[in-house]
Structure 1
């Protein structure tokens, strides 16, 4: 997988979180069709750029955009 592909997947997931709010990794996979590896690579990208935060609810890991993230991610 190319670095550019990871960035594209990160952008898709960013848009999804922007539209839907907090989602679990399973929900992200169901909505995007991405496998776990591609999701985790994209989440690593978004996390490194401080675009997302991780939240545990009822022992399930959810991801949501940081509240300070206001610009569009492409």
Structure 2
């Protein structure tokens, strides 16, 4: 499971590196991570490492690399 989270974190990081600030919904589409729990585990991993910023706009969560 840890390996999957790390792999998914890499997919999320690459997506944000290419696109900049992106909605979590669009990150999920771009990375093709199917399960919400897997996406949020990857985002949590990157957040714990201090690599992400978060912003809520009109009820939608956006994430970006710091």
Same fold, TM-score > 0.5, yes or no: yes
TM-score, scaled to structure 2: 0.90
Matched residue, 1:42: 42
Structure 2, unpaired ranges of 5+: none
| Correspondence 1:1-74 to 2 at 5 A | 2-34=1-33, 35-66=35-66
Distance 1:33 1:15 in 2: 13
TM-score by length of 1: 0.81
What are the ranges of 5 or more consecutive residues in structure 1 without an aligned counterpart?
A: 67-74
Q: Which has the larger radius of gyration?
A: 1
CA RMSD of aligned residues (A): 0.9
After the TM superposition, which parts of structure 1 deviate over 3 Å for at least 4 consecutive aligned residues? Answer: none
Match of 1:71 in 2: none
Aligned length: 65
> Which has the larger share of helix?
2
